[in-house]
A and B are shown apart, each in its own frame.
Chain A
Amino acid sequence: MNRRFILASAPTLALVSLVTLITVAAPTTQKSGAKKSLTAAGGAKTAPAAQAPITVNGVANIDPTKAFGSKNASVTMEIFSDFQCPACKQLFTTTTQRVMDNYVNNNKVYLIHRDFPLPMHAYSRVAASYSRAAAHIGKCESVELALFQNQEKWEMNGDVKGTVAAVLTPAEMKKVQELVDGKTLEALVEKDKQLGQAVPVNQTPTMIIHTRDGQSYPVVGFVSYDVLKTLLDQIVK
């Protein structure tokens, strides 16, 4: 064995020992898990006219009008999104729709839509308010779809109201407008935002997937359905 070999092997052994030590000695205490943060942020006010928030699978502060599927599902998926964010549109119109069809409608996943309007987007907060109001009259899916599908139009002219009105009857639109003008549901939008900040959500869209055994998996950015499916198939029981 020559000197060169000994010199080359020394850092190898040192590094392998260090990595092994880190692996074995890594702390197992909860640091800043999404679920813990969500629960911790649960002290804000709720709108008096809103339906009472519910808790499913340990995930608190769920507005039932913005949630879909069976509460007995083994997986709960929160999606923090901004109506003016292009990746959120892409996620909603492709991946989320297929998750709805194949997991939510089959009672395998409970899906929660959280509003996370980013300050850099001029109309996303308005869009979130209209969407929330529409959800409270039972028109969540159609209005969300209209807002995302027409994102490029209303983000140019700010005509969120017109976009929403196009998919509602005049009577429905009147109710929605009253809720928006009365700012009755603003607290719920703000609550979602606070919950996101507590996770913390740094980008939109961000999905937090919760299993019944208390594990939380964050997924950031647009992801395709086929890749998401491999994860869901492993954790859905």
Chain B
Amino acid sequence: MESAPFNFRRLVIWFGRIVLAAIFIYAGLAKMIRWDMHPRPPIGIATSLFALQIDSYQMLPAWASLQVARWLPWAEIAVGLLLLIGWRLRIWSTIVTLIIGGFFAAVVRAYALHLDINCGCFAKPEPLTGFTVLRDGALFLLAVLMTVFAFQEARKPHPWSAPSPEQPS
């Protein structure tokens, strides 16, 4: 039996791809460009400011905060674009889920420890509050659903891309 072109699972996958890709690309660019600052700082200073935000979570040693600050924005942009393109979706959606899971764990930990810090999610000064925890939780849930559904969908090929049934000779 041929599956419908748009069912709940496919809608979740499409929605997840577009929303999470947009968020990842925006977050990566925001950390490097810092369009909340006027004048915009050079990328080296923007990276150092992001490293300070990571460091304020008090989870990583200084050298690790600096390395994460250097590479995470680029990784966010790259993974966001790959998610949007949809190439090897199961791989990239799994990676996105792991990254968001890491963010969510860091935010929950900071909130539980009552750390008065900024989220650092989109680089701009944004206090870490209960709303931040809920927002990251919702994004994590979306990423998990998208990944699970992407694996389920792989077992049922899309009717538009499925091989055509053999014509009787």
Q: Which residues of A contact B (CB under 8 A)?
A: 2-4, 8-9, 11-12, 15-16, 19, 22-23, 26, 28-31, 33, 85, 87, 202-204, 215, 217-224, 226-228, 230-231, 234-235
Whether the pair B115, A87 counts as a contact (CB closer than 8 A) is yes
Q: For chain B residues 113-147, which have a beta carbon within 8 Å of chain A?
A: 115-118, 125, 127
Whether the pair A227, B22 counts as a contact (CB closer than 8 A) is no
CB distance from A22 to the nearest CB of B (A): 8
* Alpha-carbon distance between A228 and B65 when the two chains are bound, in angstroms: 11
B8 proximal to A (CB < 8 A): no
Collect the chain B residues with CB atoms within 8 Å of residue A31's CB. Answer: 36, 38
B72 proximal to A (CB < 8 A): no
Collect the chain B residues with CB atoms within 8 Å of residue A30's CB. Answer: 38
Collect the chain B residues with CB atoms within 8 Å of residue A23's CB. Answer: 29, 33, 35
Interface size class of B (residues with CB under 8 A): 35 or more
Whether the pair A224, B62 counts as a contact (CB closer than 8 A) is yes
What is the predominant secondary structure among interface residues of chain B facing chain A?
helix
B84 proximal to A (CB < 8 A): yes
Knowing A8-B86, A223-B56, say if A230 contacts B127 (CB, 8 Å): no
Knowing A31-B38, A87-B116, A227-B65, say if A203 contacts B127 (CB, 8 Å): yes
Whether the pair A230, B38 counts as a contact (CB closer than 8 A) is no
Whether the pair B35, A26 counts as a contact (CB closer than 8 A) is yes
Knowing A2-B161, A12-B84, A23-B29, say if A231 contacts B116 (CB, 8 Å): no
B18 proximal to A (CB < 8 A): yes
Most buried by A among B18, B29, B55, B116: B116
